[in-house]
Amino acid sequence: MYIPPFFVQPSVSKMHDLMRAHPFAVLISADPTGSIDAQHLPVTLNTGKNAYGTLFLHVAAANPVVQRLCSDRPVTVVFTGAHAYISPDWYESAGKVPTWNFMAVHAQGCPRRLDDQKLMEGLEDLTAHSEAGLEKVPWSAAGLDPVAYEKMRGGIVGFSIEIERLEGKWKVGQNHSVADRRSAAAGLKRVGGSSRLEIAEAMIATADKESQSHRQ
């Protein structure tokens, strides 16, 4: 991912927050011939085992990607956060052009196939994360017939990926003046929508940080 210096996100915790908030990711892998594959799937993050964390994902056993995923060939998992179109009309300065602001994280590592016990633990973590905040009693696999549930798990394959490289790009107007960032953020807020509002808050945060550094 191309990241100009002013768009680099140095905070691992902020990248982890985005990965947890936007867990539906894209798994990109290649085979020895250079053929590229992309899979859309939910991914959970576990931290504490290493500096960047470990990912869990699962795919259908019949999916050909299973044969691509091996412990000596790295993959990239792409997490896309909030994003929004920025109209030039929202800037205080003249002579601007349209752009698109966004936040994204790329995690790289080598996948390791999991046994049934680790697969089941990963599925439980994924379900608990997904059920949280739904304002109901969380669904649990504990209510399933154990034999039937084991048979269903036989139709999927689980993988863990220990993250070896983690990079984040926060393109939220840092290449524009503080005044232009604030005015563009105000434009996003007028239009509304959760993604626009999240980008607006990120733009304001960078503007506030820069203004504070100038005062010191």
Q: Would you state the pLDDT for residue 92?
A: 95
Cα 36 from Cα 6, distance rounded (Å): 30
pLDDT band at 211 (very low <50, low <70, confident <90, very high): confident
Domain 5-175: which topology? Answer: Pnp Oxidase; Chain A (2.30.110)
Q: What percent of the chain has pLDDT over 90?
A: 89
Query: What global pTM score does this model have?
Result: 0.93
- Taking only the tens place, the pLDDT of each residue in 18-45 is 999 999 999 999 988 889 999 999 999 9
Please tell me the number of Cα atoms within 13 Å of 208 on its side-chain side: 7
Q: Is it the case that residue 214 has pLDDT exceeding 90?
A: no
Residue 136 makes CB contacts below 8 A (sequence gap 6+) with none
CA 137 to chain centre: 27
